[in-house]
Each structure stands twice: as C-alpha cells, then as structure tokens.
Amino acid sequence: MIPTTPPAAAGAAPGASGGVGLLSGKTILMSGGSRGIGLAIALRAARDGANIAMLAKTDTPHPKLPGTVHTAADEIRAAGGQALPIVGDVRDEASITEAVMRTVGEFGGIDIVVNNASVIDLSGSLELATKKYDLMQDVNVRGTFLLSRAAVPQLKDAENPHILSLSPPLNVTPKWLGAHTGYSLAKFGMTMATLGLAAEFAEAGIAANTLWPRTTIATAAVQNVIGGDRLMAVSRTPEIYADAAYEVLIAPARERTGQTLIVEDVLEAAGVTDFSAYAAVPGTPDEALYPDIFLD
C-alpha cells in the first residue's frame, strides 16, 4: 500500500512544506528535468528538502522552450531543496559515470533515480526518420538502463531506494503500439528495462516501477509536438504527475516494486478523488467527452 500522506495541492507555493517532509535529505538523480514533468517532480521533492542532481543537456536557453538545467536548479533551491545541475548527455556513458560520481561527492549517496529524459516523435513508420528512431532508442531505452545501472551500487546502500521511470504499462493493443510504432517501442523499452531491474535487484530491496498518466500532461511537447491547443485543453498539469511520483517515492521500497503504475490510480489510493485542481484549463478533463485522449 502507498502511504496515505496527502499530496501537495496542485500549484502549491514553493517551500510550502518548510523543507522537512518525508524526502528531506534524500538524494534524487534525475535525467532531464529542465522543464515540464521532470521539473515538477523535482520541485515537489525540493519542498521536502530533498537533494536533486539533474543530468541534462540544456546548458543554454532553447529558442522555443523555456528553462535550462541552471534555471531549474535555481527553482529547486528556491523551493527548499539542494540542487546539482550537471550538463551532460544520458546517451553518453561517460556523462552518466560523471553524474553518479558528482552526485555522490556532493550529497554522499543516491537514494532515488528518476528516468525522466525522453524523446518523442509520433510519426508513422514510413515517415519516421531512422535518425529519430535511433535517438528515441538511445535516450529512452539505453539512457534508462545505463543511468539506473550506474546508480545501483549506491542504491544498495540507501535506506529506501527507488528507481522510477516515466513510461507506460505494456499495452500492446493496436491503438497504442500501431499508432506510432517507433515511439511506442522506445517507451515500452523503458518499461521493460525498469521491470527487468525490479526483478534483478528485488533481493537488494531496490524498488523499480514505472508511472504514466491517464491523460496527456500540459507540457511544451504536448503544445508544440503532439496536439496543440486541443490537447492542452483536455490535459492535466505536470503537478499531478509530481504528486503521484512523490507518493511512489515515499513508499517502502520492498512493498511495491515491479509495477506499472498509473498516476490517477496512485493518487486515488492516497485518498485523492477530485482531480479538478490539476486541469490545465478550467474544467476537469472528461473521459466521456474525449475517449481518444485517455489511457485504456
């Protein structure tokens, strides 16, 4: 069972918990996180007083996307956490090794790995460029496996070690696999790597789970890559993902591992039944009105 500590209210002010929550003093190593869902998860942990090391490529501002690893670090500190921005590439094993070493050197260990970095391209198989297919495999699958593996020796020494990958359940129906085969393969690969690690390191007490939302999340990728204003109008905010991730990460590692979790199910188990505060625009997304948007 997930502890029923109420998650922070959506959009709660940074530092609201006073930096003394259940993740206080815990160290998270995250891939990506300069913006969007990863940053929201980092800020939720920071409000408890967590240490967050981010391995990301965004050293300088993107012309179309807000945030860099450095601005994310500033937000984390302002929220009550400690931050270590690490400029590097999750595809590069040397970058991963450096990130682990720097994180341990700065904070003394690693308690949690969050595999957040991901590339999305929903092109059909005939339209998908081989270069983009390779990129999705390298970042999503290879990066998840290598970053998690590199942290395992540290996780074995942690009090409550977790690996959390932001990837979907293995739903290989035509609706999900056939709609965008290349992208689905990469995201399912993240999940399979995580489930494999869960089985391999179960005796060491390392939890490894995946987490995925039932709706789309209002991020720059949804706005600019997937569906524009229509999807944004029925999406939920990154904070719903962050609050669910928090519930997973505070749970006893030996009690929940090897599971493909759904954001809304996690929050419902924690006592949250009204998701209206997470709506990206006024009005809760309605599964009856938008059946093509919701996970099934």
Catalytic residue among 133, 183, 241, 278: 183
Inter-CA distances, 114 with 9, 90, 183, 287, Å:
22, 12, 20, 29
Q: How many residues does the chain have?
A: 296
The CB density around residue 173, as the number of other CB atoms within 10 Å, is 9
- Nearest CA among 242, 184, 202, 235 for reference residue 39: 242
DSSP per residue, 203-249: TTT-EEEEEE-SS-B-SHHIIIII-HHHHHHT-B-HHHHHHHHHHHH
| Helix (H) or strand (E) segment spanning residue 198 | helix 181-200
Cα(58)–Cα(60) distance, rounded to whole angstroms? 6
Asked if 278 is an active-site residue, the reply is no
**Which residue, among 65, 173, 50, has the nearest Cα to 112 in the 3D structure?**
50
The catalytic residues are 183
